[in-house]
Structure 1
Amino acid sequence: MKNGLITLIILVLLSVEVYGQKSGASQSAAQANNPLANMTAINFHNYYIPRLTDAPKDAYLNNSWVRFAKPIAEGKWLLRVSAPLNTTGIPDPVDGSVNSINGLGDVNAFMSYNFVSKPTATVGIGPNITAPTATETALGTGKWQGGFAMVAFIAKSAVFQFGGLVTWQASFAGDSNRPGTNVAAIQPFYFWQLGKGAYIRGAPIWAFDFKNDAFSVPLGLGVGKVVKVENTVFNLFIEPQYSMIHAGTQPQFQLFTGINLQFMGN
């Protein structure tokens, strides 16, 4: 994990030089963080969570996500599929040693209908479903979950863009021995372009677990860099997040890093 973060930071720094050698990056910067952009995209995201609330001192999580997005019907619809690769570190109550559990989590997908689709504003809503694909009990819910997702991205300014993603889902089938779920998430995002592809960013996820009366409301502030190479837009970022309000076992501090790829003309 640490080596991966170091590599990411080096790539971000090196991209400062690459940017100056490639044309068209400035036109792509404002749309590089648009989750509803009319482009095929692959995202590699990672949340390193070294500190949890209401949990043993040495407990930790590491959640990696591979996301694939594909516009359909000339961009009127967008399909996004997200597969998590999770690690949990749980201290042994007897000797204090940390036991790690690794594997695939529950795969999620949503289909968004973009009823507003303009260069300056994109708004979509559609069904949201999560399948119980976790390879270990601790890494998933054991339940089929369904609900909705609504997302908006406003880019009227070439300097400042903002928007948000709202999701809700509840269990409707699955392992009868596992507890049901009823969860929602609000993800505001905001981006301030600094020029030459560099930007300041924030995209924390405010999570609400209604079944367990647990929630987490983090704030995030990080930096990113957009690099356009021919028909591919690379977006690299690093963003520390800290939970200001929380209840239950939730991330207290986490480091959000990622590499997004958008393929123009696809």
Structure 2
Amino acid sequence: MLLGKTFLTVAICIHCAPWIAQAAVSSDDMNKSNNPLAPMVGLNLHDYITSSIFGTDETSNSFNLRGALPHLLGGHPQLARLTVPYQTVPEAGGDQVSGLGDINLFDIFLMKAGNLELGVGPYFIFPSASEDETGAGKWQLGASGVVIAPQTWGMVGALLTYQHDVAGDDDRPTQNIATLQPIVMHNLPQAFYLRSTGIWYFNWETGDYYLPIGLGVGKVWKLESGITLNLFAEPQWTVAHEGDGVPNYQTFVGLNFQFPITR
């Protein structure tokens, strides 16, 4: 909960501080601040606070430090996104263990088809976890795809990933995992918005899955410098699942920064 209080303090400071020059926020600005395909330099601080887990009375926490960088490698517009997780998870005996998780990277090729924004590219997962409980112990390779449809009232879309292990510790479970993240944003007056971004998880190796549905609220600020800030909180409930050890109820909180690109 400390991170959530920190985000709230940041929001109050930005909103109330008269010396921070702010610009008007348009509907397009709000869509870009939530668009995973926006070709802007980004820095995200995301935290999943899981207060209820199926099959246990324990809790968990996953903090993700994420950076996005648009580039033109090979002359094609692309967006690279690197995520560094820090996990706190339950272990046998009722204790908890914390440590660095498995770093992941995808590189999306950006395309358009009419009003749709599309992205597809490779997905890499590195066995960087500092503890056995916070990572899979496997080198993994896969693919990612994104489709976004911006609207005057907000945005809808989806992000799909698939990953399978290709090397690593033979004693660790095989990784054969897909995720699907439906994305719905509805813009409100005064740069507030409603959001739903629960990530559906499918483990094809074990048959376990869980489908969270979220409903949250966010607020966007645009500074005169061109930097955009996006603060949000989204409670998520799992409406269907198979297997223990998966989230029942969690809260997704985040603070996103987008920086303008100067040529």
Question: What TM-score does the superposition give when structure 2 sets the normalisation length?
Answer: 0.91
Separation in structure 2 between the aligned mates of residue 75 and residue 216 of structure 1, nearest angstrom: 36
Identity of aligned residues (%): 32
Deviation, structure 1 residue 195: 1.9
Separation in structure 1 between the aligned mates of residue 192 and residue 127 of structure 2, nearest angstrom: 38
Q: How many residues align?
A: 256
Q: Secondary structure at the match of 1:213?
A: coil
Separation in structure 2 between the aligned mates of residue 85 and residue 174 of structure 1, nearest angstrom: 20
Compared CA separation, residues 195 and 21, structure 1 to 2 (3 A):
farther
Alignment match of 1:226 (pick from 220, 225, 240): 220
Check if 1:210 corresponds to 2:214.
no
Check if 1:264 corresponds to 2:260.
yes
> 1:115: which partner in 2?
111
> 2:240: which partner in 1?
245
Q: Does the 8 Å contact 1:145/1:173 carry over to 2?
A: yes
2:35 corresponds to which letter in structure 1?
A: N
Q: Secondary structure at the match of 1:30?
A: helix
> 2:22: which partner in 1?
22
Alignment match of 1:177 (pick from 171, 175, 189): 171
Alignment match of 2:122 (pick from 127, 147, 150): 127
Separation in structure 2 between the aligned mates of residue 23 and residue 115 of structure 1, nearest angstrom: 29
Check if 1:106 corresponds to 2:102.
yes
> 1:187: which partner in 2?
181
1:252 corresponds to which letter in structure 2?
A: N
Q: Secondary structure at the match of 1:151?
A: strand
> 1:68: which partner in 2?
67
Separation in structure 1 between the aligned mates of residue 185 and residue 105 of structure 2, nearest angstrom: 25
Deviation track 1:106-164 (CA, whole Å, cap 9, x = no partner) reads 0000111112288x532100000101100000111110111100012211x22121111
Deviation, structure 1 residue 30: 1.8
Q: Does the 8 Å contact 2:200/2:209 carry over to 1?
A: yes
Q: Does the 8 Å contact 1:171/1:181 carry over to 2?
A: yes
Structure 1 vs Structure 2 CA RMSD: 2.0
Q: Does the 8 Å contact 1:38/1:75 carry over to 2?
A: no
Separation in structure 1 between the aligned mates of residue 138 and residue 261 of structure 2, nearest angstrom: 38
- Please say which of residues 104-113 and 17-26 is displaced more in the overlay: 17-26
> 1:95: which partner in 2?
none
Deviation, structure 1 residue 87: 0.5
Separation in structure 2 between the aligned mates of residue 162 and residue 81 of structure 1, nearest angstrom: 23
Deviation track 1:167-225 (CA, whole Å, cap 9, x = no partner) reads 00111101111121100000011111002211011100000011111000010000000
Deviation, structure 1 residue 88: 1.1
Q: Does the 8 Å contact 1:76/1:117 carry over to 2?
A: no
Separation in structure 1 between the aligned mates of residue 152 and residue 259 of structure 2, nearest angstrom: 21
Deviation, structure 1 residue 24: 3.7
Query: Stretches of 4+ moved more than 4 A in 1?
Result: 13-21
> 1:40: which partner in 2?
41
Q: Does the 8 Å contact 2:91/2:133 carry over to 1?
A: no
Separation in structure 1 between the aligned mates of residue 128 and residue 194 of structure 2, nearest angstrom: 35
Which runs of no fewer than 5 residues in structure 2 stay unpaired? none
Compared CA separation, residues 141 and 91, structure 1 to 2 (3 A):
closer
> 1:149: which partner in 2?
144
1:62 corresponds to which letter in structure 2?
A: N
Q: Does the 8 Å contact 1:188/1:204 carry over to 2?
A: yes
